[in-house]
Chains A and B, each alone.
Chain A
């Protein structure tokens, strides 16, 4: 998994529990290089949102990081985020990590203009004067592709469409020149045309700002076009990871295959919709071996005999499937 690039985020053996010590994320390790885009994919309840919330220090009140490390940056700039103090978090959120979420309207104050809300960030976090903050805000609105940015500055959230609000939130998120942008289902609620525009915008910002991107989504198709690497999560664990084209071209974990079958493939002629039978395991559910085994079409006795470790397949690819250990091909 070694990345030749400078490291932006390194998560090691992360364990998160919710409620009464129910383990929801376990044994999660990954890295994001500078300017790299990584997709985190899984069904509802796979632990993908908890993982990114842990990196933002925004776990729900019942959530807790039980173990592992989350390190932002490298060398003298490195900050350990697990157990960080309030003041450390303030610094990190003010200038090093930005985030956008699924429902942009609920993250904006409905009674203030969107320009005011962006300028406020610039004044508080960057220390700009009122005039300079206004000018910079208009510049940022233009950069995220809002037409007539000077007019948008004076509009209230209810006057803008969902796609425009998401652009406003992206402008706010990048206003502090972060190293890492986390997008949690940021395009899920948008229609396909706007979704494609927002994904293109994220790609462009990544190039112009050397921004690292963690894109969290349940839709593999979104990842396919926007991310260099993909992490597939299931039942709180990463079950497969690697360069996107290779993982999608030759998936090694049966769950990745299952996700590909249900994903929005661009085949207009298809006349059947696949489903993954059964339900994912609940948080805290104890399972003897592979967590996907009860739903896996190719499960065998070896799958539930004991914990399944991560296998390094080389070339930056990993999988958590007994067949890789036994060196057996996964039947199609």
Chain B
């Protein structure tokens, strides 16, 4: 199948474009912590901190992938960035402006301006079933209130065309009358109608099958070039992300444990959790005996249990945890690759402490 997108530039050109001189970041998050309701005793409800001490930068025209398990703080970061939740600590700077510290009215005005937009996982649940496609795509423009009626109409048609839908064919349909892939395109058209500078996509492809998944991801890639968008994609499919993102940030239990250029991070993880992720990803490349298997990255079952809240967030599942891990490591640049960061005391050396493979032992 030779079906790459025609507008996609060869990768070396894009690599060169994403290397220095680096433009000023569009989004700069520093030391961000977000807390929901404090834990209630005995109910297991409310975990307190949802995001702790997160640092992340997104530059214009860049695609940043975010991976991590449920409840690791991915969505919380998105919600804080679009102004849906107020941070407990830290700074969020968008285009040089501090938006984390905005007061209520100013925060609402920022949200309504549509400079940052959010796309959700399940378009069937996030799109109002009673509205037509035209109404859905026009709504953010009505809220922003900066364009005239005629301009809004034009913008809707233009946005639909940008996501590859024929405005005349779909204008009067409702979400139920569209296929899954078409619905997600409508979500995208809705998100880009205000011409945002940053798009936050929260699991945009998890509800789609593989072919549609790649279609939507390619579309995001095309939009970032055509509209000079910065895109953050939250996803759990590492391989699809590898085909599109420039950088990746790995979340675990409210912390960013590793980040850097996607290929380097996935091919040679500097954090044991990232290694567990890549080792667990299914593959059709059979016969890779040298591939790290998940069971080599799990702690010895006979090891005394690590206290759940002590030190490093990953220590309780980390086979390499030792005394130093009782203190949460700070995210620090790797000595040999300063554009990468890892929050692991042993970022460089854990690999040397891997046990030899034992193929027949497999724990579930």
Give A residues with C-beta under 8 Å from B.
Answer: 43-44, 145, 159, 161-162, 189, 191-201, 203-204, 218-222, 224-225, 245, 248-249, 257-277, 279, 297
Contact = CB atoms under 8 A, between A and B. Distances in A.
Nearest to A156: B44
Given A191-B69, A262-B211, A264-B239, A271 B11 contact: yes
Given A192-B277, A271-B11, A297-B1, 17 more contacts: A161-B71, A193-B277, A195-B282, A204-B362, A219-B210, A221-B239, A221-B283, A221-B284, A264-B284, A265-B285, A268-B238, A272-B11, A273-B218, A274-B4, A274-B214, A277-B3, A279-B179
B214 A220 contact: no
B263 interface: yes
Contacts of B179: 279
A189 B70 CA distance: 10
A273 B282 contact: no
Nearest to B282: A221
B169 interface: no
B220 to A, nearest CB: 10
A269 B12 CA distance: 12
A233 to B, nearest CB: 12
Given A224-B286, A266-B285, A269-B242, A192 B280 contact: yes
A43 B179 CA distance: 13
Contacts of B71: 161
Nearest to A272: B4
A44 B209 contact: yes
Interface residues of B, number: 54
Contacts of B11: 271-272
B31 interface: no
Interface of B: 1-4, 8, 11, 14, 44, 68-71, 179-180, 206, 208-215, 217-218, 236-240, 242-244, 262-263, 266-267, 276-286, 288, 291, 294, 362-364
Contact of B236 (A191, A222, A249): A191
Contact of B283 (A201, A224, A271): A224
Contacts of A201: 364
Given A161-B70, A270-B243, A218 B281 contact: no
A276 B1 contact: yes
Contact of B263 (A191, A225, A262, A268): A268
15 contacts: A159-B44, A197-B294, A203-B364, A224-B283, A248-B286, A264-B237, A264-B238, A264-B240, A269-B242, A272-B11, A273-B240, A275-B211, A275-B215, A275-B218, A276-B211
Contacts of A274: 1, 3-4, 214
Nearest to B264: A268
A226 to B, nearest CB: 8
Nearest to A198: B364
A178 to B, nearest CB: 18
A12 B3 CA distance: 36
Nearest to A279: B179
Contacts of B236: 191-192
Contacts of A43: 209-212
Given A271-B243, A274-B3, A192 B284 contact: no
B283 A268 contact: no
Contacts of B279: 196
Nearest to A220: B284
A240 to B, nearest CB: 14
A247 to B, nearest CB: 10
Nearest to B305: A147
A224 B284 contact: yes
A266 B70 contact: no
Nearest to B273: A193
Nearest to A265: B284
A320 to B, nearest CB: 19
A264 B236 CA distance: 11
Contact of B180 (A44, A258, A264, A267): A44
A161 B71 CA distance: 9
B214 A192 contact: no
- Residue in A248, A259, A263, A273 whose Cβ sees the most chain B Cβ within 10 Å: A273
Given A201-B364, A273-B243, A266 B211 contact: no
A332 to B, nearest CB: 10
Nearest to B209: A218
B217 A273 contact: yes
B277 A162 contact: no
Nearest 5 A/B pairs, CB to CB: A266-B283, A196-B280, A201-B364, A271-B11, A268-B266
A266 B241 CA distance: 11
B262 A249 contact: no
B242 A192 contact: no
Counting chain A CB atoms within 10 Å of each CB, the highest count among B11, B210, B244, B262 belongs to B210
Contact of A267 (B210, B242, B244, B363): B242
A204 B363 CA distance: 9
Contact of A263 (B14, B210, B244, B267): B210
A276 B3 contact: yes
A266 B8 contact: no
